[in-house]
Amino acid sequence: MKKSVFRYSLVLLCCMFSFSFIHAQRNSSLKISSIELGHPVPGIPYYHFKAELELAQPSIIEVEASVNGETLRLVDLYRGDRPKDLDKPSFIHRPPSGYAMAYDNNRYQNPLITGWVRWEPGENYEVTITVRLKQSVHQSSNDRFVSATATLTGPDQGDFFDPAWKNYKSIVVSETAGIDRQNEPVEVLLPFYPDEAWDLKREIRVMAVNPDDFSLREVPSQVFDIQEYLVADDMAPLEEGHPEREIPLWMPTTTCKLAFLADVPARTSRVFLVFYNNLDAMAKTYHTDLITQGELPGLRIENEHYNIVLHPRSGHLEQFALKSKPEYPLFHRMETNGAIHWNPGIYVPPRAWTHTADWKLEQNMHSVSGPVLTTSEVWGALRGVPEADASVRYDFYPGVPYFINTTSMRINETVQTLALRNASIVFKRELMKYAAWYDVVRDEVITFDVSNLADLTELIVDADVPWITFYDEEAGVGFAGINLEFATTGVESRPRLLNPYMYVNVGPWLYWSRALSLSFGSSNMQQVIPAMKGSMFMEKWAYLIYETDKEIPYNPVFEWKDKLNNPLKIQLVEEVDQRVSRSLIEVYMDDGKSGWEERDTGRH
């Protein structure tokens, strides 16, 4: 068998502080104009020092800082003439490998530097800053070293979290739509070294930083989906005859998903600190209005706005009711499985038309429940059509009148179809009187009294409809779908879809659905359309349960559409761990240049 060709490149520490700082002499040509210890702010979202330096003359430089004799691994360098907006997250980042590989031919005279320092109030910190002055981007024996030292005392302002939690990560959350957010659910993926993640569900605490007085407020959080990869790199040669590696390609890593509730005023950014690494931490119980009862697949979920019941066999949405309108529960309970939510679905004659809602406990099931998030997931082959796999996920949150539904379908083998559909919501017809949606072609809201339409009337809706709703003004209840994401793609071939669109249909039921490819509903209803192997379809909707407005019945949909289509922006900022290598190794598939050879321009 032909041997695969690999090449790996070891970039030595020729550009990253490889000079010996122990020989640096303190020199009056480096002056610390100002230096202070600071609290986390969006632009520097960690406890830090910030120093303004003054050099005798402009120079190409490299900078290192140490605190109480320990060299910092996270030090950022800025041009002093470029003000830093500390109220917004930074958009400049260089990973540890960047310091080893990149040249900086900027000339600095009044640079600003910051460093990650977890200082405590009243404690003293000796900060030493050493600068290498260079003639060019390359290091030389003629380079000169200057340094200066300052002693700082941690200020008493603000709160400080228990030092028993040895580490923290920082998350900057930004609001961009001009809407105040309160208790907004936030979800982020976090990585850890295994020796600092003893029991993440027990250890993690999330603290919101008040930008006015830097006080800390603990917010409800929930850890789930913990994954561990504990295999270490054995440092063996990549190929016979090659040397053993000096640094590992990877390190064992534990990851988890973290959900928490964030308050972020309109057009602002806020810092949230995630503390961890406390072997003795006690489990913390948070109380919210999100309550989950029962067992999969027939969970019952409630919060302050609604009660929801999932089907006992398929796990699909079966019934819900507004708590303010308990006398008007919404349901379907007519055709086949009777669920409100039906799809993904496919019709491959002469086999029966099948939907994910037709599952009868043969599907895979998984759930997560807690104070911030309850998730119900079901997935597997479509009943009677093993050529297609599908999944349905519901995410429920405290304090909000909506839940999120994500569905996907994958065609494993080509099948000849009369129908390929997704995103179906079905009600008993008598429960809803009106349908409304925003028509992107006409640039207006379209409203129909569906109670007076003839059976099997179909209302055509654009495939990119931003929202659609059914409501009954007399009952005062509405249900809306807010379109968050929609994607169609293929692996072996491009998707082949016949006239994709959304539509509303009336009969004994009232439903909306996405027709991915629906010849069954076309002028020539018996022509088959292939669903090609490798085709994949995904939908993500927010389903909103609301009380109708007296002036514009569907008015609440506008408010939630703006929020849900403009989610909070998340930026994760982490300290550089001491075990991170100071050089970089990359593995290349074939022989060839890496792009770094003879790179001496410094223009980047």
Record: fold of 291-553 = Beta-galactosidase; Chain A, domain 5 (2.70.98)
Task: Name the CATH code of domain 167-276 (choices 2.60.40, 3.30.70, 1.20.1740, 3.40.50).
Answer: 2.60.40
pLDDT tier at 82, thresholds 50, 70, 90: low
The region of weakest confidence among 28-32, 53-57, 108-112, 170-174 is: 28-32
Hey, which bits of 383-418 come out as E strands? Answer: 385-396, 402-411, 415-417
**Which two tokens mark 288?**
């919210």
| pLDDT value at residue 81 | 63
**Per the structure block, which two tokens stand in for 87?**
């109220």
Q: What is the mean pLDDT of residues 114-143?
A: 92
pLDDT score at 587: 80
Cα–Cα distances in angstroms (integers) from residue 532 to residues 153, 227, 373, 501, 525, in the given order: 67, 34, 36, 19, 19
What are the strands, taking DSSP E only, across 277-384?
291-293, 300-302, 306-310, 317-322, 345-347, 354-355, 364-368, 374-382
> Over 50: is that where the pLDDT of 17 sits?
no
Domain ranges of the chain: 10-159, 167-276, 291-553
Tell me, what's the pLDDT at 603? 46
d(CA 284, CA 274): 14
Mean pLDDT across 25-39:
81
How large is the average pLDDT for residues 307-316?
Answer: 97
Confidence category of residue 19, pLDDT binned at 50, 70, 90: very low
Band (pLDDT 50/70/90 cuts) for residue 2 is: very low
For the chain, the residue count is 604
Confidence of residue 137 (pLDDT cuts 50, 70, 90): confident
Distance of CA 69 to the CA centre of its chain: 37
- Contact between 409 and 389 under an 8 Å Cβ cutoff? The reply is yes
Residue with tokens 């909070």: 568
**Mean of the per-residue pLDDT values of the chain:** 90
Identify any residues that bridge with 411 across adjacent strands, giving them in sequence order: 388
For domain 10-159, the question of CATH label 2.60.40 is answered with yes
Which of 1-15, 42-56, 150-164 has the least mean pLDDT?
1-15
pLDDT, tens digit (0-9, with 9 covering 90-100), for 364-388: 999 999 999 999 999 999 999 999 9
Alpha-helical (H) ranges within 245-365 are none
For residue 604, the model assigns a pLDDT of 40
**pLDDT score, position 519:** 92
What's the pLDDT tens digit per position in 254-301? Answer: 999 999 999 999 999 999 999 999 999 999 999 999 999 999 999 999
> For 403-412, what is each residue's pLDDT tens digit?
999 999 999 9
> Is 291-553 the same fold as 10-159?
no
The DSSP line for 41-63 is: BTTB-SSEEEEEEEESS-BEEEE
Q: Hey, how many other C-beta atoms are within 10 angstroms of the C-beta on 185?
A: 22
Contact residues for 451 (Cβ-Cβ < 8 A; gap 6+)? 429, 433, 434
Q: Is 246 helix (H, G, I), strand (E, B) or coil?
A: coil
Q: Which residue has the higher pLDDT, 18 or 167?
A: 167
Residue type, 565: N
Over 60: is that where the pLDDT of 3 sits?
no
Q: Is the pTM of this model over 0.95?
A: no
- Residue 554 tokens, joined: 């569907």
Which tens digits make up the pLDDT trace of 509-557? 999 999 999 999 889 999 999 999 999 999 999 999 999 999 999 999 9
pLDDT band for position 106 (50/70/90)? confident
What sections of 173-310 are H helices per DSSP?
200-203
Contacts of 491 (CB under 8 A, 6+ apart): 534, 535, 536
CB 548 within 8 A of CB 401: no
Is 8 a residue whose pLDDT tops 50?
A: no
Does the structure show a pLDDT above 90 at 28?
Answer: no
By DSSP bridging, strand 124-134 and strand 60-67 are antiparallel
pLDDT attached to residue 9: 42
Q: Which of 437-441, 529-533, 594-598 has the lowest mean pLDDT?
A: 594-598
